[in-house]
Amino acid sequence: MEEKLKKNLEEIIVRNASPDDLDEIMKIEEKEYGPIDWVVPKEVMKYRLKNCYFKEPGDLFWVAVKDQQIVGYITGMIINFDPKNPPNTRREAIGYKRASDGKEYGFGTKHNPNGNALYVMSIGVLEKGKGIASKLIQTTVDFVKNNGYNGLQYRVAGLRSGYAEFVKRNPDITPEQYIQLRREDGQYVDGFMRLYSRFGFKELCMKKDYAPEDKVGEGWGNIMVWENKDYIGKFVCLEGPVRYLREMGISARYPTKKEMKGFSEE
Ligand SMILES: CC(C)(COP(=O)(O)OP(=O)(O)OC[C@H]1O[C@@H](n2cnc3c(N)ncnc32)[C@H](O)[C@@H]1OP(=O)(O)O)[C@@H](O)C(=O)NCCC(=O)NCCS
């Protein structure tokens, strides 16, 4: 890795987001998804920060910080995901709700702490090509490993990253063909496929009209899955057994407050 990039990466830390980060996160959201495309209003981001959490608000929302400035974010939610029967639309996957401007957005109302997979809803960076997204994606992969979930799926608008330009030069290529194309060096032509395949994500399927509001990506969704090789069932254990199971290489996680209800202190 180039020394400069390496140093830059070392200076970036990833931490859980807090509600105080909202304004800085919105700056990135507006820069990356606005003004006419796919930006969500502040109230949607606020909802995600407060409601899509694992143990505490913000636990499924991470920010990358450099020199005390937020330079990227990634957020997700826990859902029930069956790779044999993947969602047909983003609306179905994450849940939409009407905001105060009268329009519907992907708030993430389907967050279910008892689900089996992490679904990444959104990612954005302040400055591209500096490895910020890679660092954030690695955080979600570690989260899935450490908390005993079996997978992480990510809705990639495959066409956002250059299909429109590509198809001008190659008018006969279909989105499904495009997503599979490789460069001479063996890497994917598509930017998102290139990025996610480096972490071991595999393409599951392409869905037309997955997110019609994504104008740049022409609504297409490319569902990618990262499988947790350690997953052999979701363990919910108390502290001692969790550590023991992890030492044995088995995924385990702590019970949530809700799951603990009904247990006596004895
Ligand atoms: C896509 C995105 C998150 C990548 O962030 P990043 O910090 O630049 O990524 P990294 O530096 O960690 O990795 C670089 C890799 O990301 C991919 N990438 C970078 N910019 C990209 C872009 N505009 N479109 C598609 N892929 C891109 C490439 O695979 C690149 O690898 P390469 O250098 O070998 O070409 C960032 O460009 C972004 O915020 N885009 C706008 C928002 C968006 O479209 N998000 C996804 C919605 S589904």
- The closest residue, in CA terms, to atom 22 on ligand 1 is 161
User: What is the DSSP annotation of 155-216?
Assistant: EE-GGGGTHHHHHHH-TT--HHHHHH-B-TTSSBSSHHHHHHHTTT-EEEEEETTS-TT-TT
pTM here is 0.85
Helices 22-33 & 42-51 angle (0-180, nearest 10): 130
pLDDT tens digit sequence for 189-206:
998 899 999 999 988 999
Q: What is the pLDDT along the chain (266 residues), one digit of tens a residue?
A: 677 777 777 889 999 999 999 999 999 999 988 776 789 999 999 999 999 888 888 899 999 999 999 999 999 999 988 888 999 999 999 999 999 999 999 999 999 988 889 999 999 999 999 999 999 999 999 998 888 787 888 766 556 667 878 888 888 988 889 889 999 999 999 988 999 999 999 889 999 999 888 877 888 889 999 988 776 555 555 555 666 666 666 666 666 666 666 555 44
Give me ligand 1 centre to Cα 138, in Å. Answer: 14
Q: Where are the domains of the chain?
A: 3-234, 235-266
Give me ligand 1 centre to Cα 42, in Å. Answer: 23
Q: Which tokens belong to 39?
A: 């930006």
133: Cβ below 6 Å to ligand 1?
A: yes
Q: What is the pLDDT of residue 236?
A: 53
Q: What is the pLDDT of residue 265?
A: 47
Mutate-to-test residue for ligand 1 from 9, 128, 197, highest number of ligand atoms within 8 A of CB: 128
- CATH 3.40.630.30 given to domain 3-234: yes
- The closest residue, in CA terms, to atom 41 on ligand 1 is 32
Q: Kindly report the length of the chain.
A: 266
Which stretches does DSSP call E strand in the chain?
Answer: 13-16, 61-66, 69-79, 97-98, 104-105, 117-125, 151-156, 202-207, 221-227
Q: What is the pLDDT of residue 103?
A: 93
Q: How far is CA 16 from the centre of its chain?
A: 14
Closest of 167, 177, 232, 229 to residue 203, by C-alpha: 177
Q: Give yes or no for a contact between 214 and 157, defined as CB atoms under 8 angstroms apart.
A: yes
